[in-house]
Amino acid sequence: MRIALAQLDYHIGNFEMNTKKIIDKITLAKSKKSDIIVFSELSICGYPPRDFLEFKDFIERCTQSIEEIAAHCEGIAAIVGGPSINPKREGKDLYNSAYFLADKSIKKTIHKTLLPTYDVFDEYRYFEPNTVFECIEYKDEKIALTICEDLWNINENPLYTTCPMDELIKQEPTMMINIAASPFDYKHIEERKKALRDNAEKYQIPLFYVNHVGAQTELIFDGGSVAFNGKAELVNELKYFEEDFKVVDTDDFEEPVLDFGFNSIELIHDALVLGISEYFSKLGFKKAILGMSGGIDSAIVLALAVEALGKENVRSVMLPSKYSSEGSVNDSLLMIKNTESPYDIIPIEDIVNSVESTLKPQFEGTTPDIAEENIQARSRGLLLMAISNKFGYILLNTTNKSEAAVGYGTLYGDMCGGLAVLGDVYKTQIYELAKYINRNEEIIPLNIIQKAPSAELRPGQKDSDSLPDYSILDKVLYEYIENRQGPNELVAMGFDSALVQRILKMVNTNEYKRHQTPPILRVSPKAFGSGRRLPIVGKYLS
């Protein structure tokens, strides 16, 4: 049997585009003499549709699109993901389903059994879990068709009490097909491959897996669709971070693919570029603006944005204050020259002086402190947002994960923006990312990489005045945020008790700030945003 794997980039709610893409690939698969073409989970509407699923019209348009696609399934079968209506009176109104289309009609509808409701997933909010297990018979093959999470309950510590393949294997299927919308993080590719390989090894039949590619707001989908033969050998692997199409012949599997593993920094780079590009294109924007400080974070955001959007579409604005060093301005100019992108220089000293003068009666008798420092950051945010509004730019936020974690940023100042590019990248990873960007030529000036980080809001200021060294801070943050290790566990790892208490208190008392930040592109196993839900007013460690 010839099976076409169609790894596509969908747009949530864009039924016309999604349907056309699917039909075009069905036509291509026919020309390649394919028997079945496989698309990904909820491909008809895009993933995750979230509360759009609560609109009757949205579901009706999904159904209409499925019927339109089915009309093109003559001489070929197609597997397409979409919501379906639960005809029962009890339970949720919808299923997360895989439609098996052939002979110009819907032949079978298979529902998802395991509904992830953790981290960025919230599927049980919308869908009823499947309880009926059926294989699909087609052209002398018996297919065990599952949806994403259905193949993940195979580890030593299963999350669910049901394993769909354990039920389906009783019907003696000849192959497994899994359609998925599996979001990227820099650890997930290897975890995903292992889960799929474990399934192929356990059930000893070929496995075909099709994943989403592209990005939907903060979620990035890396693709990487695969095929395993009955010996659990990886025989086909589609591209990462781009659309791809491949026909696999089960009667003549290719030689096993050599798996060399992945460089996490390279993956983060590719994911961020895709995330920026998709956010702009799917919102209908073309141009970005950012504040260029002379620091490494803004330099990296500029480099990534230029790669994603084109140098002519990214405008840097330098906003020097009286505390900005000549080196920072010169470093920024060199960085902008290297990227050949447009820029402006707008000094903020007069604006800051005006605000301070206006507030003089209210601030009478007080000593200058963080309030005056934040006036500088908010003056910059004001100007950047004004230019954004006037010319239709999206402001790119340059705050990194280390800063966001401990609240080292100014609300309505440097935390402004329409998209947070580096909010899931720790400061120590930022330096590795800079080296990767400079792998072929010096795009980010060496001085930007080497100098001590500083917000330059007061004379001689350095990040180390307010924060522990990033090499230590990031280790504590990673264990606390990604690995959910509490204070006792952190101290047992060898971290100083007072330092742990200080860092964790900063993280928890600044939750209110993170609730007001732009969407953060997710590249780690635990990002700030929809995947990390903590109370703002909680007392724990604060």
pLDDT at 262: 82
| Annotation says 112 is catalytic | yes
Tokens 């800051």 — which residue? 352
Q: How far is C-alpha 255 from the geometric centre of its chain's CA atoms?
A: 32
Burial of 37 (0-12, 13-18, 19+ CB in 10 A): buried
Sign of CA dihedral 26, 28, 31, 36: negative
Closest CA to 429 of 385, 479, 381, 475: 475
Give the active site residue among 41, 128, 237, 373.
41
Torsion over CA of 229, 230, 232 and 235, rounded to 10 degrees? -10
| Annotation says 539 is catalytic | no
Hey, how many other C-beta atoms are within 10 angstroms of the C-beta on 145? Answer: 23
Residues making up the chain, counted from first to last: 542
pLDDT at 220: 98
| Annotation says 191 is catalytic | no
Report the C-alpha gap between 268 and 262 in whole angstroms. Answer: 11
94-102 sheet: strands from edge to edge: 105-111, 94-102, 77-85, 36-38, 2-7, 244-249
Report the C-alpha gap between 144 and 165 in whole angstroms. Answer: 8
Give the active site residue among 45, 148, 163, 416.
148
Residues 184, 212 contacting (CB under 8 angstroms): no
Angstrom CA distances, 138 to 31, 89, 142, 248, 374, stand at 20, 32, 6, 16, 66
Report the C-alpha gap between 353 and 331 in whole angstroms. Answer: 26
- All residue ranges of the chain with pLDDT < 50 are none
Give the active site residue among 21, 25, 108, 112.
112
Domains and CATH numbers, the chain: 2-260 (3.60.110.10), 267-463 (3.40.50.620)
Tokens 């605000």 — which residue? 355
pLDDT at 116: 96
pLDDT tens string 493-534: 999 999 999 999 999 999 999 999 999 999 999 999 999 988
pLDDT at 89: 76
pLDDT at 456: 63
pLDDT at 252: 85
What does the DSSP 8-state code read for residue 536?
T
Report the C-alpha gap between 216 and 282 in whole angstroms. Answer: 8
